[in-house]
Structure 1
Amino acid sequence: MSVLIVSPGRDPEEWKKALENQHPGMNVYVYPEDHDNEEVEFALSWNHPRGLFKNYPNLKVIASMGAGVDHILSDSALPEGVEITKVVDDTLTEDMGDFVLSQVMNHIRGLHHYVKCQKEKEWDKFQYRRPQDTKVGIMGLGTLGNAVADKLHKNFFKVYGWSRTEKSCDNVTSFHGKDQLEEFLENSEILVCLLPLTEDTENILNADLFDMLPEGAYVINVARGEHLVEHDLMEMIDSGHLAGASLDVFREEPLPQEHPFWEHSKINITPHIASLTKPESVVPQIAENYDRMKEEEPLKNKVELDKGY
């Protein structure tokens, strides 16, 4: 019985070391080093090559290295019967809350504007807004969405939330379903996307949705690049309907150097760093699920495949 780490573009050694320290005696392979495919029953994965896992006849579990699982579910050749898990980690959750708060504050205080002014040696004061006078809408009220909502509420923002199905979140005015989406958007002076990526949410940040936001609204996407129709965002900013955007995720990462986002004065770019998974923090739950798999016990943080998260 072995564990396979598959993480193209990421250094897997820290993960391997953390697993072996947490679970002495665990046999860990790192793809694509030589290994016996029939030994592997548990895979730890991030952006695996499409179709890879169909070559593992005894694979039982695929564990995501992060909170997202779309990079796994988007593979149409996954073996039948394999269970998929995601990471739920207090550190990731807290870090996401801090990041979104920083981007919201950056916007209402005009700090991105002053970076531009400094480069051009312009003394141009920005009329800032206060949290108490600002409505923030959060799309997605899962673990991360709830944490972000709580962080914003504690900093005196008026917080609204929207989810596919009805959810209750403390100190948030909640909306759900397609019928309540427009009312939610009308109250979102700053819109934060924290939705899981599914067939229903892909391309959801589009011109039709932006048009329902108040004029001068600001968009923050910390979910997935595939949520955003990039051309629609730029058109809505250039027309003046949107004030700008803060983007941490993109359809292609790293963002190509020729991409127009780089040069846009009203788009703030960060390289998918809103919350970074720390192996030493999440490996204990992964190792626990490995033991649960061996004992044929229910897994923690199991993904509901019909929902996609």
Structure 2
Amino acid sequence: MSGKHSTASGALAFYSQLDDFETWKHALLAQLPGLDIRHSSALGDPADIHYALVWKPPAGFFDGMLKLRLIVNLGAGVDSLVNRADLPPGIPITRLTDPQMARMMAGYVLFAALRHARDIPHFEQAQRQGKWSYRHPRSPDEIRIAVLGLGQLGAVAATELSRLGHAVSGWSRSPKKIDGVHCHAGLATLDTVIANADILIVMLPLTPETRGILNRERLLRLPRGAAFINVARGALVDQAALTELLASGHIGTATLDVFEQEPLPATDPLWRMPNVLITPHLASVAIPSSAARQIASNILRVSAGQAPENLIDPGKAY
């Protein structure tokens, strides 16, 4: 739906400490030229706000927004927008499903998985030591990869890994069917999936049910020397146990994009571990130029009294 010849009543509030306001404003105005877009530092009367485009807004952010009709989350994870005291029930919350986000996430996951599959951390350490340390590459079908979380992003990543010839398993709370991926569902199957993963990739949403799901006991089920990749949420994992198992060698290597506390404190031992690659929560981000079309479409739908698309279920937190 094009917004260039349509209008939307009310103002839009923007909040993010990571995203550039002017870039998003320019992209949105290209779709909805008349939209009143306000940065969180200059909202004016909160009663003017009909729409909110946010990433992890602070407590009390929505106070006074009595005409709020739509919240758009600047990303895939919506855990920061559920069970809030400043939000009345019934306000629709949508997530971005920009295909560029799925491609970006798949690219990061492929990079991380292939880095482990081709033993690149070993060669990186050998290079630092000035050693010519040959390791014969393994056949892709000998490397078992498990993807935990088969939502939009996880399904794309699992499919791409399967296309490269890896033996890919997927796990989700509810049954899924993905060509080339051995799908498992329900908590009763989770431990078995983990125990048969040479590379474990975490792409689960953070919900009350998944918080801390990868505890020490489950991490110990990984085969010794397995690789661990987390691009979802830090709170899914017992980070202290993960650190200990990385130090002992039970978990051989890790690529971590998310953490219990972000930014990761400079004193955290993970920074200094040679078998850990750290990136600052950037595996997949919304691209304003492409995502703005989807946001504008939902704003116009709500303005016309229609239900927005890509709604999340607050009860499930995804």
State the TM bucket, normalised to the shorter chain: over 0.9
Q: 1:114 to 1:202 in 2, by over 3 A?
A: same
CA contact (8 A) 1:101 1:152 kept: yes
Match of 2:72, as an amino acid?
Answer: A
2:306 corresponding residue in structure 1: 297
Deviation track 1:160-211 (CA, whole Å, cap 9, x = no partner) reads: 0110111112111111111111221222111100000111111122211112
In the alignment, structure 1 residue 82 sits paired with structure 2 residue 91 = yes
Alignment-derived partner of residue 28 in structure 1:
37
Once the two structures are superposed, residues 77-133 of structure 1 have per-residue CA deviations (whole angstroms, 9 ceiling, x without a partner) of 322221100000111111111111111111121212222222232332234322121
| Equivalent runs, 1:47-58 vs 2, <5 Å | 47-58=56-67
Q: Distance in 2 between matches of 1:54 and 1:303?
A: 21
- Partner Cα separation in structure 2 for residue 238 and residue 9 of structure 1: 32
The answer to which of 211-220 and 113-122 deviates more is 113-122
C-alpha displacement of 1:70 = 1.4
Contact 1:220 1:247 in 2 (8 A): yes
> Match for 1:121 among 93, 115, 130?
130
Matching of residues 86-105 of structure 1 within 5 Å = 86-105=95-114
> How far apart are residue 9 of structure 1 and its match?
4.1
* Aligned 1:1-309 pairs, distance under 5 A: 1-73=10-82, 75-309=84-318
Q: CA deviation at 1:26?
A: 0.8
Name the CA shift for 1:100/1:31 in 2 (closer, same or farther; >3 Å): same
Q: How high is the TM-score relative to the length of structure 1?
A: 0.96
Residue-by-residue CA offset, 1:282-308 (whole Å, 9 max, x unaligned): 010101110011111111100011111
SS at match of 2:308: coil
3-state SS in 1 of match to 2:25: helix
SS at match of 2:42: coil
1:74 Cα offset (Å): 5.8
Question: 1:5: how far off?
Answer: 0.7
CA contact (8 A) 2:13 2:43 kept: no
Contact 1:98-1:151 within 8 A present in 2 as well:
no
Structure 1 pair 239/77, CA: closer, same or farther in 2 (3 Å)? Answer: same
Q: Counterpart amino acid of 1:284?
A: R
Find the residue that maps to 1:14 and give its secondary structure. helix
Residue 46 of structure 2 aligns to which amino acid in structure 1? N
* 8 A Cα contact 1:18 1:283, kept in partner: yes
Q: Share of identical aligned residues, percent?
A: 36
Residue 277 of structure 1 aligns to a residue in which SS? Answer: coil
Q: TM-score, normalised by structure 2?
A: 0.93
Secondary structure at the aligned position of 2:314 is classed as: coil
Distance 1:102 1:263 in 2: 22
Classify the secondary structure of the residue corresponding to 2:41. Answer: coil
What is the CA deviation profile of residues 207-243 of structure 1, one whole-angstrom value per residue up to 9, with x for unaligned ones? 1111222222211000011112111012222233211
Deviates more, 1:133-142 or 1:198-207: 198-207
1:47 Cα shift? Answer: 1.5
Structure-2 separation of matches of 1:117 and 1:55: 58
**Does the CA-based 8 Å contact 1:162-1:174 persist in structure 2?**
yes
Q: Distance in 2 between matches of 1:74 and 1:156?
A: 42
The question of whether the paired residues in 2 share the 8 Å contact of 1:42 and 1:59 is answered with: yes
Residues 239 and 259, structure 2, Cα contact 8 Å, conserved in 1 = no
What per-residue deviation string (whole Å, max 9, x for no partner) do you get for residues 118-162 of structure 1? 223233223432212111001001111110111001100111011
Tell me, in whole angstroms, the C-alpha distance in 2 between the residues paired with 1:293 and 1:145: 29
Between 1 and 2, higher relative CO (CA 8 Å, sep ≥ 6) is seen in 2
Query: How far is 1:254 from its partner?
Result: 2.3
| DSSP-derived class of the 1:47 partner | coil
SS in 2 for 1:94: helix
Say whether the 8 Å CA contact 2:121–2:253 is kept in structure 1: no
- CA 1:279–1:258: 2 relative to 1, 3 Å: same
Q: Any stretches of 5+ residues in structure 1 without a counterpart?
A: none
Query: Larger deviation: 111-120 or 140-149?
Result: 111-120
